[in-house]
Amino acid sequence: MFTAFIVVLIITAAAHYLNGGIRINTPGDRVTAPVKGHLSVLLAILALIKAADYWYQRYSLNFSGRGVVDGASYTDVNAQLPAIKLLILISIAAVILLIINIWRRGWVLPVVAVGLWAFVTIAIGSIYPAIYQRFVVEPSESSREAQYIERNIEATRTAYGLSVGETGNITERTFIPNVENALTAEVLQQNANTLNNLRLLDPAIVSPTFQALEVEREQFRFADDLDVDRYEIDGDIRTVVIAARELNLEGVNSGWENQHVAFTHGYGVALAPANTITAQGEPDFVIRAYRQP
């Protein structure tokens, strides 16, 4: 809406100029009183829309990613939020000044209002929170962010329906028998699902193998520590090791075309069950990009 009103303001000013309401090269009043009132009202509406925008920006701080966890951080609450409140007051003050300007000569009040708003937006709305984060929060981030981390944990527990001290419907089962019991076929059968998903691939050390088998071009690479997830394969839920084939900028020749046109993204994923390997001891890839079996 703010952008739409800016377009309306520009079109309106251009129309008044073409109709003679705005005369740039004429001595004396260059804007007629009706045109001045019309433009002042449009500017006041713009300032009012911006004040409403700032009002709703307060709630967007709940989704901030500035801190160590998602949600409002120490800087958001103690620097960004006060800055937004100040911008709301300045926007409302600008509305009042622009309304008063309808009956005043000249454009001093609109210039003061817009100049003050621009200064506070840059200095208080952007620069001040960044400085506050760098020099106040980061030197003792763990202590200052502690209560916000705690709130994040509590919100996560609430979202998942978890409470401290409550275990819910959890059934404890002992898989490894103690010294008094024997490892019987019955025990193995009862824990077949667990045994079938025992990991043979360690995501922390298997990356070089993925790199050797699934990256034939130096423009791509895998992360040093791969991810573990669970997917349905052939009707069964299987634990898998999965890795995105990322773009390796070090393997791309320098040049604007290569870096901005030819090589702009990675190339798919490699996925292998974590509990099986091939006869050669290699990952048994289910998803691969090269050398399809």
What pLDDT, on a 0 to 100 scale, did the predictor assign at position 215? 81
User: Is-contact 61 72, C-beta < 8 A?
Assistant: yes
Provide the pLDDT for residue 29.
Answer: 65
List of residues 6+ apart from 169 with CB closer than 8 A: none
H helices within the chain, ranges in order? 2-18, 33-60, 74-75, 81-100, 108-122, 128-132, 141-144, 146-159, 185-190, 192-196, 207-214, 256-257
- Residues 224 and 207 sit within 8 Å (Cβ to Cβ): yes
CA 126 to chain CA centroid, nearest Å: 18
Q: Which two tokens stand for residue 4?
A: 């739409």
The predicted structure's pLDDT at residue 257? 65
Structural tokens at position 82: 């006060």
Longest dimension (CA), the chain: 106
pLDDT at position 293 is 39
Helix axes 108-122, 33-60, angle to 10 degrees: 20
Q: How far apart are CA 51 and CA 57, in angstroms?
A: 10
pLDDT at 152: 85
CA 106 vs. chain centroid, Å, equals 45
Write down the pLDDT at residue 59.
92
Q: Which residues contact 157 (CB under 8 A, 6 or more apart)?
A: 163, 164
Q: Which residue has the tokens 């030197």?
A: 139
Q: Round to whole Å and give the CA distance between 243 and 223.
A: 7
The pLDDT score that the predictor gives to residue 177 is 54
pLDDT of residue 40: 81
Domain edges within the chain: 2-150, 193-273
Report how far residue 98's alpha carbon sits from residue 116's, in angstroms, rounded to the nearest whole number: 13
All residue ranges of the chain with pLDDT < 70 are: 5, 17, 20-22, 25-31, 163-183, 251-252, 254-262, 290-293
Please check whether residue 199 is in contact with residue 239, taking contact to mean a CB–CB distance below 8 angstroms: yes
CA gap 158, 142 in Å, rounded: 23
Output the pLDDT for position 223.
87
* Residue 250: DSSP 8-state: G
